[in-house]
Amino acid sequence: MNRERAFDQVLRHWLDDGADQAPERYVWAAIEDVERTAQRGVWQASLKGTLMKVTPAMTVLSAAAVVLLAIVAYQVLGSSRFAPPAEPSSTPRLIVVADLSRILPPTEVDLNTGSPLPAVTGLQALGVLLPEGTDGFPQTGFIDARMTAHSGEGGYQTSSALFDTAADAQRGFDFLTTTLDVKSTHGWSLERTGEVPGLGDESLSYSGSAPFAGLRNVGVYLWRVNNVLLAVFQFNYTGNALHTLALEMDARAH
């Protein structure tokens, strides 16, 4: 028992000896990120709060009222008056795995051998956006992804990732943007350059460098079209095809 206590004591002393003050630069960096980040789920929380105030009796009464209205409407107007809609539904179509490669630009050819570069699939295809690994990536609803490989020391890489639902893709978008926002000595050193008008349902663009891979002139476009995430990554390259490539991919995703 004494040995046990002595070991506990050693542990306490050892743990006491360490940094106790957070360097302010990390706190300010986080606060800068906060300035650009919306809180999540405020409307869900308020909707939930509203729903919780609805009593079972109110729910039953509301349902009964809806049924009654439907019966009255049917009897008054007659079923024949309900004409089919003139236009097809405007609901966007759901993208499937077969679309992923089609959305991306053609796979590049290895400059040395002349043969097409191998396709990258699965979570690995998001690897370029997750320099520190894909372990933390929320895989709920993740189906598959594709990435075009690159053949030179600079250029573009493009990715498309398919999710079960638009909400799953939204979670992936949030995760990736949170990762891209973090500046670190072994990760990104990017600045948000804002949304890209006309690109997908939500979009963000970045520019800066990637210390983890020693890359300069990095530009990133990340956007979501319904249940698919799309990205263009530019590095060691000063061309201006980033925007054009993104618009072409976006058009193919619609």
Partner 1 sequence: MVEQAKLGDREAFTRLAFELSDHLFAVAHRILRDFDAAGDALQVTLLRIWRDLPSLRDPDRFEAWAYRVLLRACQDQLRRQNRQPRTLHLLAADAIAADPALAIVNREQLDRAFRTLTTEQRAAIVLQYYRDMSLPQIAEVLQVPIGTVRSRLHYAKRALRSAIDADSRPTTREGRTA
Note the residues at the interface with partner 1 (CB under 8 A): 3, 6-8, 10-12, 14-23, 25-27, 29-31, 33-35, 37-42, 45, 132-133, 135-136, 174, 178, 181-182, 184-187
CB of 187 to partner 1, least distance (A): 7
Nearer to partner 1 among residue 30 and residue 119 (C-beta): 30
Burial 142-155 (b: 16+ CB within 10 A, else e): bbebbbbbbeeeeb
Host H or E run for residue 8: helix 2-16
Q: Which CA distances in Å does 8 have to 3, 12, 17, 232, 233?
A: 9, 6, 15, 52, 50
Nearer to partner 1 among residue 105 and residue 127 (C-beta): 127
CB of 252 to partner 1, least distance (A): 31
Tokens read off for 3? 């040995």
Nearer to partner 1 among residue 52 and residue 98 (C-beta): 52
CB of 134 to partner 1, least distance (A): 9
Nearer to partner 1 among residue 168 and residue 181 (C-beta): 181
Nearer to partner 1 among residue 134 and residue 151 (C-beta): 134
Nearest to 134 by CA among 153, 119, 147: 147
Residue 184: half-sphere exposure toward Cβ, Cα within 13 Å: 12
CA–CA gap between residue 221 and residue 234 (Å, rounded): 9
Nearest to 235 by CA among 133, 124, 152, 126: 152
Host H or E run for residue 202: strand 202-210
Nearer to partner 1 among residue 212 and residue 241 (C-beta): 212
Q: Are 191 and 208 within 8 A, CB to CB?
A: yes
3-state SS assignment for residue 211: coil
CB of 50 to partner 1, least distance (A): 15
CB of 17 to partner 1, least distance (A): 8
